[in-house]
Amino acid sequence: MSGRNHQGIGMTSQRTRDRLIRRLRQQGIQNDQVLDVMRRVPRHLFVDEALAHRAYEDTALPIGYGQTISQPFIVAHMTQLLLEDGNANSVLEIGTGCGYQTAVLAKLFPQVYSVERIEALYQQAKQRLAELELYNVQLRYTDGTEGWPNLSYRFDRIIMTAACTEIPEALIAQLNDGGIMVLPFDNGIDQTMTKITRGRNGLVYEALEKVAFVPLLPGLN
Ligand code: SAH
């Protein structure tokens, strides 16, 4: 990424970015904080240079290793869900990928933790986030089905950016009281965006829209 244009020109210009933001708003993203952050975070720096001209289309794009950067609408929607129900200090993300969602979270939450199971993606994301001077982010190369390693601390928010067929117990255990977790759940037929809230009377599950994510995989790569 070194030497690449942060400001953006042509298909990565502020005008092109603003068009994406208008589109997200039309599609139902109402949270101005989310829209403002997505206007500012340079998505084109998170994809290969050859794909930079498509970075402000509302579409997922390949990031190598069989993985994708999530569609902007999905990033906006998941982030908006995490901002519901009052103040949150810490967020754990499972699936750093290129680090774009991580960067968006870093502008909205005081402490962001993110884990990735593919070492090359972890390394790239680490470099990018450092270049963007996002110092409130901690990354780990680890299997996210185990949550953040060796920690008794619980997170106010958890976001999973890969689809699971079973909700990992370790993640439920690391969700704070009053906490919110959003994840794509795969029932074997299709995937549903799911919001889990840990309320006074236990966990509440809400099924939202149908989605398409890469699968949550076990182990390291
Ligand atoms: N938020 C990312 C999404 C990347 S796709 C972005 O916008 O770029 C999902 C990511 O989850 C992939 O990078 C994949 O390697 C990772 N992943 C899948 N299973 C995982 C696991 N068990 N632990 C950690 N990361 C995982």
CA–centroid distance, residue 95 to ligand 1 (Å): 3
Nearest CA to ligand 1 atom 13: 97
* Confidence (pTM): 0.96
User: What is the span of the domain harbouring residue 88?
Assistant: 10-211
**Residue 2, pLDDT score:** 47
In one-letter notation, the amino acid at residue 100 is Y
Within 63-206, where are the H helices?
Answer: 72-82, 100-106, 119-131, 169-173
As averages over each run of 10 residues, the pLDDT of the chain (221 residues) reads: 68 91 98 98 96 96 97 98 94 98 98 98 98 97 94 93 97 96 98 97 97 96 93
The pLDDT value recorded for residue 86 is 84
d(CA 190, CA 200): 30
Ligand 1 binding residues, C-beta < 6 A: 63, 67-70, 94-95, 97-98, 100-101, 115-118, 121, 143-145, 161-162, 214, 216-218
- Closest-CA residue to 181 (of 155, 217, 201): 155
The number of domains in the chain is: 1
Does residue 157 sit within a domain? yes
Q: Compute the distance between CA of residue 28 and CA of residue 11 in angstroms, rounded to an integer.
A: 24
How confident is the model at residue 4, as a pLDDT?
72
For the question of residue 114 being annotated catalytic, the response is no
> How many angstroms separate the alpha carbon of residue 69 from the centre of ligand 1?
9
Which of 2, 13, 70, 90 is catalytic? The answer is 70
Give the domain CATH number at 119: 3.40.50.150
Instruction: With respect to residue 109, please indicate whether it lies within any of the assigned structural domains.
Output: yes
Q: Report yes or no on 220 lying in a domain.
A: no
pLDDT at 3: 54
